[in-house]
């Protein structure tokens, strides 16, 4: 486990130290939230109703676009080869990098969400539900996105490819996250029902993502 946390620490230091890594994602999130009222109008009742969905779409896009550089730098400078020579399986390396990436870029989105939710006129119950679903759902998106990030890194393709590959896979996460939020506000099912499915999806993604990403990296090496 020592090697696992060493990779987590290294990646976190790299993405937090490089400047703008974590902050840039939050600024992108803020930008998405800002353009929506311009598009749909400043009606606070309407914004309160569609607010959770806007927050989730913004967080989804911010998570996906942030994935672009996850493996790219390590492929380019050869440190991925060094990492894959260590005794730790490539799957665990991918999981460590995914965890570090989520801590550095996903968690800030969750922390920023309440402030953005206030701007969209969400009521307190909805804010709590959105933050909880983001806390559980953004790791799911990040780990599902690992496979897209592996392709993007290995084949030097941009974030557009990641989004095209990963969005279909992330639809279930979006469905249950937004359902849980609307259940918390207006029912009819209790918040726990969709939320537990969301937890299950997150666990599934955390297992599947690193395995698929490692397979993708091996395939790319040829």
Which residues of this chain interact with other proteins, rule CB under 8 A? 147, 151, 154-155, 157, 161, 164-165, 167-169, 171-172, 175-176, 179, 189, 197, 201, 204, 208, 212, 215-216, 218-222
How far apart are CB 222 and other proteins at their closest, in Å?
4
How far apart are CB 152 and other proteins at their closest, in Å?
9
Residue 21, CA distances (Å) to 28, 100, 194 in order: 11, 12, 32
Omega before 5 within 30 of 0, i.e. cis: no
How far apart are CB 203 and other proteins at their closest, in Å?
12
Task: Return the number of the residue (29 or 195) whose C-beta is nearest other proteins.
Answer: 195
Task: Return the number of the residue (197 or 199) whose C-beta is nearest other proteins.
Answer: 197
What is the Cα–Cα distance from 132 to 130, expressed in whole angstroms? Answer: 5
Task: Return the number of the residue (99 or 216) whose C-beta is nearest other proteins.
Answer: 216
How far apart are CB 219 and other proteins at their closest, in Å?
4
Q: Residue 102: which of 143, 153, 72 has the closest Cα?
A: 143
Residue 170, CA distances (Å) to 43, 146, 175, 201 in order: 29, 12, 9, 10
């Amino acid at each position: 486990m020592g090697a696992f946390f060493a990779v987590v620490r290294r990646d976190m230091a790299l993405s937090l130290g490089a400047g703008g890594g974590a902050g840039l994602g939050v600024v992108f999130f803020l930008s998405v939230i800002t353009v929506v009222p311009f598009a749909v109008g400043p009606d606070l009742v309407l914004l309160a109703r569609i607010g959770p969905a806007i927050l989730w779409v913004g967080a989804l896009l911010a998570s996906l676009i942030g994935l672009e550089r996850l493996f790219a730098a390590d492929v380019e400078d050869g440190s991925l080869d060094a990492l894959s020579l260590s005794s730790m399986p490539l799957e665990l390396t991918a999981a460590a990098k995914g965890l570090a990436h989520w801590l550095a870029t996903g968690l800030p989105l969750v922390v920023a969400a309440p402030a953005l939710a206030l701007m969209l006129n969400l009521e307190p119950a909805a804010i709590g539900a959105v933050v909880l679903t983001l806390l559980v759902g953004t790791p799911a998106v990040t780990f599902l996105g690992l496979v897209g990030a592996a392709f993007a890194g290995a084949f030097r393709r941009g974030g557009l490819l990641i989004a095209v590959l990963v969005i279909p896979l992330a639809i279930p996460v979006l469905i249950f996250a937004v359902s849980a939020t609307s259940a918390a506000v207006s029912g009819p099912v209790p918040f726990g029902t969709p939320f537990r499915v969301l937890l299950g999806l997150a666990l599934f993604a955390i297992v599947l993502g690193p395995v698929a990403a490692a397979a993708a990296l091996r395939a790319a090496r040829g």
